[in-house]
Amino acid sequence: MASNFFGITDTGKQRQNNEDVFIAEKSGDGNFIIACVVDGVGGYAGGEIAAEIARATILEQLQYIAGDIVPLLVNTFKIANQRIYDEKAQNKELSSMACVLTLAVADVLNNKFYYAHVGDTRLYLLRDYSLIKISKDHSFVGFLEDSGRLTEEAAMDHPKRNEINKALGFTREIDHDPEFVETGSSPFLPGDILLICSDGLTDLVDKSKITDILTANEDLPPKGKKLIEAANNRGGKDNVTVVLVHNDKERKQHGATKPATATVKPVEQQEVITKPVTKKEEVPVKQAKPKSNGGTVAILSILCFVFLGGFIWQFKKNNDLAAIPKKTDTLVSQPIKNAQELKLQDTINNLKGNTLVLSAADFKQPIVLTDTLHINKDSIYIKTKGEIIFKKDSTYKGPAIVLSTKAKYVVLDSVAFDGFRIAIATRNDALVLKNVRFNNCLMPVLTAYQFPNMKYVSGRSLGSMFKADSIPSKATH
């Protein structure tokens, strides 16, 4: 196992089986570290099955990681949730099974990590001897602790500590709640350590003890084993699982720069330093004077300016004449944007925040487009009240919507496109569709990928994340 990531699990002192599983390995392309802890719920067999389904799904979906990573993690959770729920439907003995999990993807090369989380497993970041809890517990007691209403000590002893309100497998679909999966990203600096663990650790070992173990001058395997031992030494009431990831790149050290006034230089050195300035000021004026033919040069310069001015004037005059249409010229009419287009584009450009709600009451239907709508924001969520339809003008041949290169996360919710050759032109994997219809569109979505020139490229296209149905999915608004 690589030296900068490590995982370990233990049954504990009071359980007969282990419903925890973990992932601590590199992605198939070798560019990312996948770190995950899954805690199964639902009895002797059910919890183990749910946890294993989630683990297998993550390894399958994250074999190659590309594009916008957070939506990929969310989609992976959705697939795992669906598979767990389907398994429950086929086997009544597993009707109560589910799992909670925390997944992190570390990009050590670019000093960043991404995460997705459901339940009461936890994600911590250790930086400069300080341990920071990143994820939030999806439980009532966890909410009280995270909001400061309960101390860590009181929360650890609370009788309802392990009652969770979110898990994969609880419901058939998790799309109805956009906040069901907690997600985020953060810098992952040289020297940082990520800790992902099950509640078997944090129910028994406090933050101070965990910090002491993680800040010890040891490699990751001894640290992981000591965390397990600490939980077992306090009773080992539950399965205990720990995954650690270390950004082992060398920290950049910057030496302090002394102020210029801190050192008194000898007189000789001061003279050497100031000499060039003095020399520049004392250059004799006669060295800069032109020679005796200066008058001739001046006259030639004036003549050049005169000829140049005449040339520019004639060129401009010819252009102005050429711009006047002749009787035999065919005037090409440019499409004039209608009021609805102008209003919509202006609304997108001046939107404060990331959510835009389009009401059918504010726009005459359909919205006829004579030109492209441009989305230049980093992220935006466009959803509708009522039916919003974008229809191509009879003379327009371009796309309805184009996403700029800076767009990273653009959601279109419950809109329709009618008659376009290309409805949406996007780049990389910025686009998310919810209940979007394409009527008579030759190419609904055109995706362009940008890669570095003359490099070997590996990755995956995320088109499989889209699905089609004859009925809309449950509304989110």
d(CA 223, CA 4): 12
330 pLDDT higher than 50: no
Q: Decide if 430 is inside a domain.
A: yes
b/e sequence 264-302, b meaning 16+ C-beta within 10 Å: eeeeeeeeeeeeeeeeeeeeeeeeeeeeeeeeeeeeeee
Q: How far is CA 91 from CA 41, 87, 95, in A?
A: 16, 6, 7
Q: pLDDT digit string (tens) for 444-475?
A: 999 888 788 888 877 656 544 566 777 776 54
The answer to pTM > 0.75 is: no
Does residue 237 sit in the same domain as residue 349? no
- Position 459, amino acid: G
**What's the rounded mean pLDDT across residues 166-188?**
89
Contact 101, 37 (CB under 8 A): yes
Per-residue model confidence (pLDDT) at position 354: 80
- Position 308, amino acid: L
Does residue 353 sit in the same domain as residue 228? no
Contact 38, 80 (CB under 8 A): no
Neighbours of 329 (CB within 10 A): 8
Residue linked to tokens 């520049």: 280
Per-residue model confidence (pLDDT) at position 173: 82
Per-residue model confidence (pLDDT) at position 101: 97
Per-residue model confidence (pLDDT) at position 297: 57
134 pLDDT higher than 70: yes
Least trusted range by pLDDT, from 152-161, 214-223, 339-348, 363-372: 152-161
Q: Decide if 13 is inside a domain.
A: yes
Does residue 234 sit in the same domain as residue 353? no
Q: Decide if 62 is inside a domain.
A: yes
Does residue 235 sit in the same domain as residue 347? no
387 pLDDT higher than 70: yes
123 versus 250: the higher-pLDDT residue is 123
Does residue 207 sit in the same domain as residue 356? no
279 versus 45: the higher-pLDDT residue is 45
d(CA 429, CA 68): 6
Does residue 78 sit in the same domain as residue 182? yes
Q: Decide if 299 is inside a domain.
A: no
* Domain end call among 218, 246, 274: 246
User: What is the 3-class SS of the chain, one letter each residue?
Assistant: CCCCEEEEEECCCCCCCCCEEEEEEECCCCCCEEEEEEEEECHHHHHHHHHHHHHHHHHHHCCCCCCCHHHHHHHHHHHHHHHHHHHHHHCHHHCCCEEEEEEEEEECCCCEEEEEEECCCEEEEEECCEEEECCCCCEHHHHHHHCCCCCHHHHHCCCCCCCECCCECCCCCCCCCCCCCEEEEEECCCCCEEEEECHHHHCCCCHHHHHHHHCCCCCHHHHHHHHHHHHHHCCCCCCEEEEEEECCCCCCCCCCCCCHHHCCCCHHHHHHHHHHHHHHHCCCHHHCCCCCCHHHHHHHHHHHHHHHHHHHHHHHHHHHHHHCCCCCCCCCCCCCCCHHHHHHHHHHHCCCCCEEEEECCCCCCCEEECCCEEECCCEEEEEEEEEEEEEECCCCCCCCEEECCCCCEEEEEEEEEECCCEEEEEECCCEEEECCEEECCCEEEEEECCCCCCCCCCCCCCHHHCCCCCCCCCCCC
Contact 373, 345 (CB under 8 A): yes
* Domain end call among 246, 276, 311: 246
288 pLDDT higher than 70: no
Does residue 242 sit in the same domain as residue 343? no
Q: pLDDT digit string (tens) for 19-37?
A: 999 999 999 878 899 999 9
Q: Decide if 119 is inside a domain.
A: yes
Q: How many domains does the chain have?
A: 2
Does residue 230 sit in the same domain as residue 346? no
Q: Decide if 309 is inside a domain.
A: no
Q: What is the CATH number of the domain that holds 175?
A: 3.60.40.10
Does residue 213 sit in the same domain as residue 349? no
Residue range(s) defining the domain that contains residue 443? 339-459
* Domain end call among 222, 246, 270: 246
113 pLDDT higher than 90: yes
Q: Decide if 365 is inside a domain.
A: yes
331 versus 438: the higher-pLDDT residue is 438
Per-residue model confidence (pLDDT) at position 50: 94
Does residue 150 sit in the same domain as residue 17? yes
Q: Decide if 75 is inside a domain.
A: yes
Contact 474, 172 (CB under 8 A): no
Does residue 236 sit in the same domain as residue 363? no
